[in-house]
Structure 1
Amino acid sequence: MKELIESQIIINAPAAAVWKVLVDFKAYPMWSPTIKEFYGNPTVGERTKVLLSQPEETSMKMNPVFLKIDSNKELRWKGRLLVNGIFDGEHYFILKPISDNETILIQGEMFSGILVPFFKKMIHGNTKKGFEIFNAALKDRLESRL
């Protein structure tokens, strides 16, 4: 089973500025309402512990492997519950410049595994709401600097 969710927002800042905030992993505790902390510095092909806190849920630590860190374009990681195939999530942020000073941020996740049908309500509820809250906080952080 697979399930995809996405949330996007237009940010009044160039893609390079959005990227700079997105990959300033040490600053997340100061502004991010959902991705609370990165333990270490993410590197493609390696795992980095991440502390998450979705709306109306308890916090959880995950240990995703980073799949892509493509400057000014895409950040992508994959996490799993216990072992592959149970409940996996491939999370991504994609930046699409609209103009020199506008960028679309797309945050999404492709969930897969045998437990996906049991988590659909959570995926389309609190998880998607968490994406929207994160996107709004990122937009606010960038636009309040202008």
Structure 2
Amino acid sequence: MTVEIFTEILIEAQPKKVWEILTDFENYPEWNSFVKSIEGNIKVGNIISVRIEPPNGNGLTFKPVVVAYDPPKELRWLGKFFIKGVFDGEHQFKLIDNKNGTTTFIQSETFTGILVGVFKNNLNNTKTGFEQMNLELKELAER
């Protein structure tokens, strides 16, 4: 089974500015109510530590592997629950330069694995968290 969460927001700022805020992980606690922390060396193939706290859900710290890092366009990681194929999530932050001083910010995640159906109802909180984070990023970038 596969479930995808897709969110998108238009930000009135250049991609470079949005990227700087998005990748300033030390300041996440100051503005990001969903992703509380990202730690580690962000490089393709490296394992990082990510702490999320979905609204109305339980917080979770996991250790995904970075699968794409292309400043200022994309950061993507793949997390798994115990072993690959049980409950995997590929998370993506994507920035699109609209060539007019604005950025389309996409935050998405594709969940696959044998337990996706079991956790499907809990993913609504995750989508709400994405949307909340997107708004917070927009607000900060447009200041």
Q: Give the match's secondary structure for 2:7.
A: strand
- How big is the shift at 1:138? 0.4
Partners of 2:94 and 2:26 lie apart in 1 by 20
User: Which residue is 1:70 aligned to?
Assistant: 70
- Aligned residues of 2:19 and 2:71 also touching (Cα < 8 A): yes
Q: Give the match's secondary structure for 1:83.
A: coil
- Aligned residues of 2:40 and 2:47 also touching (Cα < 8 A): no
Structure 2, unaligned stretches of length 5 or more?
Answer: none
The residue correspondences of 1:120-131 to structure 2 (distance < 5 A) are: 120-123=120-123, 125-131=124-130
Counting aligned pairs with the same residue, the percent is 41
**Deviations 1:82-140, CA, capped at 9 Å, x for gaps:** 110010000001111123310100100010000111122222x1011110001001001
Relative to structure 2, which stretch is displaced further, 70-79 or 36-45?
36-45
User: Which residue is 1:107 aligned to?
Assistant: 107
Partners of 1:107 and 1:138 lie apart in 2 by 11
Partners of 1:39 and 1:104 lie apart in 2 by 25
Question: Between Structure 1 and Structure 2, how many residues are aligned?
Answer: 143
TM-score w.r.t. length of structure 2: 0.95
Q: Give the match's secondary structure for 1:104.
A: strand
The Cα RMSD (Å) is 1.0
- How big is the shift at 1:6? 0.4
TM-score w.r.t. length of structure 1: 0.94
- Aligned residues of 1:25 and 1:41 also touching (Cα < 8 A): no
